[in-house]
Amino acid sequence: MDVEELACKMRLRAIKIEDEIGPNERQQHLVEQERLEALQKLYFNAGRWAGGARDRIAKEAYQKIALGA
């Protein structure tokens, strides 16, 4: 299969899927995505603290996870 043809099919499929999703579902997806990104940042920074980084952001993230605060 040609790369251009595959890209065209993927774009058309994405447009079709986007049309099927309603505005409420799209908004809910964005909120879930934001929450996931915030959680990933929290775990990343807590891991930095556990690995030896000693800055405020890493310390606060570690405390939120370790202490549940």
In tens digits, the chain (69 residues) has pLDDT values of: 688 999 999 999 988 887 777 777 878 888 999 999 999 999 999 999 999 999 999 999 999 999 886
Look at residue 33 in the predicted model and tell me its pLDDT: 93
Look at residue 63 in the predicted model and tell me its pLDDT: 94
Burial pattern 9-47, b for ≥16 Cβ within 10 A else e, equals eeeeeeeeeeeeeeeeeeeeeeeeeeeeeeeeebeebbe
How far is it, in rounded angstroms, from Cα 56 to Cα 44? 14
Look at residue 62 in the predicted model and tell me its pLDDT: 94
What does pTM read for this prediction? Answer: 0.62
Look at residue 69 in the predicted model and tell me its pLDDT: 63
Tokens of 16: 């079709």
